[in-house]
Structure 1
Amino acid sequence: MKTDPPTQTSPTPTDLSRTELDAVARRMAEAGTPPDGPLRAVLITGGRSNLTYTLTDATSRWILRMPPRAGRTPSAHDVAREFRVTSGLWGSAVPVARPVVLCEDESLLGGAFTVVDFVDGLSVQSRDDLAALDDSQLSHLMDSLTRTLAALHRVDHVAAGLGRFGRPDAYAQRQLRRWSGQWELVAPEDREVRAAAAELARRLTVAVPEQVSTGIVHGDYRIDNTILTHGRLPEVAAVVDWELSTIGDPVADVAMMCAYRDEALDLILGAPSAWTDDRLPDVPALAAAYEAAGGVPLDHWDFHLALAYYKIGTIAAGIEHRRRAGVGSGPGFATAGHAVPRLMAAGLALGPLDG
């Protein structure tokens, strides 16, 4: 997940120069989408996540995504990954913004960048955003959210040109190994928290199930990573923020979506989020709605849900680790550490994980 909650608040002036914007326009023209005039750009999200700009030629609008200009790691901020998966999904039952161009020539903007069509819609990020929806609107929206995730997991990733997008097998083993290694780097000093995490990791290790299903995994699917249609009954107009996507076990994708319903997410984001609101279905209801929408059977559900709590707990510990090291500030940094024991406890509360 991104540790900065995405925002679309008052825009700030872009730091893209005229020379850089002209280079973007040339790449768009080469890709078959020439702007009608000089491009202007406004930064709408920034910080630790990818930078997101609105581009306009005074007639049409697009979205440009690129890594931060400084302080990024080689494997993070993979806008090319986002572009490839959405290119594979374009035209499918999964709504995404139309891909326009991927440029991996870092000499133009200081990093790779992508341009996709602008999707005009609503963004529901906060508890206040959700409060604007009445019960019938919210019910319709939740139905659309679960149907969209189920549709994603039904996509034949090989037929979509994503056969090499990620290793399809042993997803749970690889995730557990990756996040256990990350935990060792960021674990807090609190002995009780470390003991709880160690016990949860032990239980997960001995209970890793055989992978039954394989498909495209979004990795961070929640209401705040979608754009919604305008109108009386909002639906998903586009799924966004695909930087964690891969090929893996769809059950793990559903589990992450459900684990993020825990109020610990508010501590990680540093604000009351829409996704933790008690007006939304609880975890059992959300999982059942996904299966009813035609998603994959949720085999070994308790294991995948416990692994999701472990992963999110490690993410929260990483934010707290950066705070202690004095290399991070902003929403969530002062509170994320409090989410760690809650999340590890939630994983342990699931009991035996081999069912």
Structure 2
Amino acid sequence: MSEELPGLDLERLRAHLDRVAPGMAAGPLSGEVITGGKSNLTYVVTDGTGSWVVRRPPLGHVLATAHDMAREYRVMTALRDTAVPVPRTHLLCEDTEVLGAPFYVMEYVAGTPIRTEEQIAPLGPEGTRAVAEALITTLGDLHAVVPEEVGLGDFGRPEGFLERQVRRWRKQLDASRSRDIPGIDELHEKLARTLPEQSAPAIVHGDYRLDNVLVTDKGEIGAVLDWEMATLGDPLVDLGLMLVYQRQPVDGRSATTAEGYPSPEELVAMYARSTGRDVSRLGWYVALGCFKLAVIAEGIHFRHAQGLTVGAGFDRIGEVVAPLVANAHAMLKED
């Protein structure tokens, strides 16, 4: 296995492709890592003529998460003929003897996951606005897909979805408590006590934001990525979480602060017009998104304090927890 490609043995991959997809790869394979770490590992692989993306769980993953590859593969395959732009899927391999973990191969889509003002600046204010509008339009397109019509009728349990979300993130919080966090228990209680009437169920992405889509050179959305948290449930959780990332960037000057990027209120109005969904209780969904991110950040802070994280930036992740909790309380007052 190449030291430059941890988790991907190109010779074993090529042998597997030759067995299950003869002719797909014409020459020797080479590749590079796109993303790595605690998220799923993603590589671009080429035979010198064509290019593909290979995605597998992180090194040392546990069997309990082995289904994630099949889950991502299934939802992208189901959406391939809808208005939602997704990479075309080629093959799924759940045989861990090939690469040591389940993996799948999909189409390589050119584009950039935009995170910063610097990345979006070349598009100018008009182009920046167009990207944001496309982001909202695509979210509406996803939520308009009828799960049963694309073979995803059993992809999740919409009934009781919001209650389970609140309970799940409280459980995650309890598993990573290492310090007093003022207001977070009260936040959980408020969320549980003020559950809104659930919006009509739809396919939920689970982590929908600007840097989880690929923006093409023309400023269009080429593909929506990172479907490992997808399920069926209340689609307003996608909109709420997207607004949390916009209102409270956790990693510096976000692209959503660039000139031309619409305000949260404008984006909500666009979504409501295009979907016809009632967004009058959206403050609750934003608060839930804040709670979710606060719990995730606290978990990272907890692991960092135990010396279990590697890389830069983990030492300050705990600083975002209190502002997220405060923002959630403010949203519930407005709701």
Q: Same fold (TM over 0.5)?
A: yes
Per the TM alignment, residue 18 of structure 1 is displaced from its structure 2 partner at its CA by 4.3
Runs of at least 5 residues in structure 2 that lack an aligned partner in the other structure = none
Decide which moves more: 33-42 or 173-182. 33-42
Distance 1:131 1:41, change over 3 A: same
* CA shift digits 1:102-153 (9 cap, x unpaired): 1101110000001001112233123321222201111111111110000000
The equivalent of 2:204 in structure 1 is: 217
| In the alignment, structure 1 residue 133 sits paired with structure 2 residue 123 | yes
The equivalent of 2:138 in structure 1 is: 148
Quick one: which of 186, 189, 195 aligns to 1:202? Answer: 189
Quick one: which of 328, 333, 336 aligns to 2:309? Answer: 328
Distance 1:115 1:198, change over 3 A: same
The equivalent of 2:250 in structure 1 is: 265
Q: Is the 8 A contact 1:224 1:274 kept in 2?
A: no
Quick one: which of 14, 17, 21 aligns to 2:9? Answer: 17
Per the TM alignment, residue 71 of structure 1 is displaced from its structure 2 partner at its CA by 4.8
Decide which moves more: 110-119 or 257-266. 257-266
Per the TM alignment, residue 303 of structure 1 is displaced from its structure 2 partner at its CA by 1.5
Quick one: which of 6, 21, 33 aligns to 1:29? Answer: 21
Per the TM alignment, residue 299 of structure 1 is displaced from its structure 2 partner at its CA by 4.6
Per the TM alignment, residue 185 of structure 1 is displaced from its structure 2 partner at its CA by 1.5
CA distance in 2, matches of 1:76, 1:310: 26
Distance 1:28 1:277, change over 3 A: farther
Distance 1:51 1:238, change over 3 A: same
Q: Is the 8 A contact 1:67 1:77 kept in 2?
A: no
* CA shift digits 1:68-125 (9 cap, x unpaired): 2225562278122111100110010000000100110111000000100111223312
The equivalent of 2:85 in structure 1 is: 95
Distance 1:259 1:201, change over 3 A: same
CA distance in 2, matches of 1:348, 1:43: 40
Q: Is the 8 A contact 2:40 2:55 kept in 1?
A: yes
Distance 1:287 1:85, change over 3 A: same
The equivalent of 1:7 in structure 2 is: none
The equivalent of 2:216 in structure 1 is: 229
Per the TM alignment, residue 65 of structure 1 is displaced from its structure 2 partner at its CA by 0.2
Q: Is the 8 A contact 1:27 1:103 kept in 2?
A: no
Q: TM-score, normalised by structure 2?
A: 0.92
Secondary structure (helix, strand or coil) at the match of 1:330 reads coil
Percent identity at matched positions?
38
Per the TM alignment, residue 352 of structure 1 is displaced from its structure 2 partner at its CA by 4.3
Aligned residue pairs total 332
Secondary structure (helix, strand or coil) at the match of 1:258 reads helix
CA distance in 1, matches of 2:118, 2:278: 34
CA distance in 2, matches of 1:225, 1:89: 16
Q: Is the 8 A contact 1:85 1:242 kept in 2?
A: yes
Distance 1:28 1:134, change over 3 A: farther
Secondary structure (helix, strand or coil) at the match of 1:125 reads coil
Per the TM alignment, residue 264 of structure 1 is displaced from its structure 2 partner at its CA by 4.5
The equivalent of 1:344 in structure 2 is: 325
Q: 1:53-202 to 2 correspondence within 5 Å? A: 53-72=43-62, 74-75=64-65, 78-190=68-180, 193=181, 195-202=182-189
Give the letter for the 1:175 counterpart. Q
| In the alignment, structure 1 residue 313 sits paired with structure 2 residue 303 | no
Q: Is the 8 A contact 1:264 1:342 kept in 2?
A: no
Distance 1:50 1:240, change over 3 A: same
Q: 1:235-254 to 2 correspondence within 5 Å? A: 235-254=220-239
CA distance in 1, matches of 2:249, 2:128: 22
Per the TM alignment, residue 297 of structure 1 is displaced from its structure 2 partner at its CA by 2.6
The equivalent of 2:270 in structure 1 is: 289
Q: Is the 8 A contact 2:129 2:260 kept in 1?
A: no
Q: Is the 8 A contact 1:27 1:101 kept in 2?
A: no
Q: Is the 8 A contact 1:145 1:235 kept in 2?
A: no
Distance 1:351 1:209, change over 3 A: closer
CA distance in 2, matches of 1:274, 1:295: 27
* CA shift digits 1:273-318 (9 cap, x unpaired): 3345575333222211222333633252121111111111111111
| In the alignment, structure 1 residue 301 sits paired with structure 2 residue 288 | no
Q: TM-score, normalised by structure 1?
A: 0.87
Per the TM alignment, residue 13 of structure 1 is displaced from its structure 2 partner at its CA by 3.1
Q: Is the 8 A contact 1:153 1:296 kept in 2?
A: no
Secondary structure (helix, strand or coil) at the match of 2:320 reads helix
